[in-house]
Chains A and B, each alone.
Chain A
Amino acid sequence: ETGVTQTPRHLVMGMTNKKSLKCEQHLGHNAMYWYKQSAKKPLELMFVYSLEERVENNSVPSRFSPECPNSSHLFLHLHTLQPEDSALYLCASSPRTGANMNTEAFFGQGTRLTVV
């Protein structure tokens, strides 16, 4: 258990559905991340929130919409997805205490998303 909890663990949705992925951490971290992990591809950074402000959006399609209501919670809202969006979506958090040093990223167990 890393202290980062993702729900649901598995999700099957149709292309016209709207769903949300949830991530929660109570480690006191001030940065949270969404990653996409597809088969045979590197971990792709999607969004970064630092102190609840989005600091990076890596050219992610608008059908993915993140939300960070507070430093402990991160959501990924999904709508009109495509089958190629099927993947493992991982949330991570880190202290990100500024420019002093990089530190460990703590990952949740991921949500396995299947778009049908």
Chain B
Amino acid sequence: GENVEQHPSTLSVQEGDSAVIKCTYSDSASNYFPWYKQELGKGPQLIIDIRSNVGEKKDQRIAVTLNKTAKHFSLHITETQPEDSAVYFCAPGNYGQNFVFGPGTRLSVLP
């Protein structure tokens, strides 16, 4: 099965700074790479995803980059805001397989 790790497990940044969270996985057949955000009292929600035929994808302040050779992908958040404070999960997967979530990274954006 897929082994998924995230680094760091906690991250504190000053408002306006950038944050980067890295996800490593073990299954070289993985071809779908999403990031979810979980705010307090809510379930996780997809914020960005990428498929294996693309190396980078950007959506306003967030971006995801993929290195399939090294089996890792990263979430980049620029110009962080207090509302970005949450737990972030990666969930790399393969066609038709179930979602396997990483352990999560708690991001705190300090005003």
Contact = CB atoms under 8 A, between A and B. Distances in A.
Contacts, number: 57
Instruction: Classify chain A's interface size.
Output: 20 to 34
A100 B94 CA distance: 10
Given A101-B32, A102-B32, A107-B43, A43 B101 contact: yes
B44 A43 contact: yes
Given A43-B89, A104-B46, A105-B46, A99 B103 contact: no
B102 A42 contact: yes
Where chain B touches its partner, the secondary structure class is loop
Interface in B87-111: 89, 91, 93-104
Interface in A1-47: 2, 4, 33, 41-43, 45
Contacts of A108: 43
22 contacts: A2-B45, A33-B99, A41-B103, A42-B104, A43-B44, A45-B99, A56-B98, A90-B43, A94-B99, A99-B96, A101-B51, A101-B95, A102-B31, A102-B95, A102-B97, A102-B99, A105-B36, A105-B44, A105-B46, A105-B91, A109-B41, A109-B43
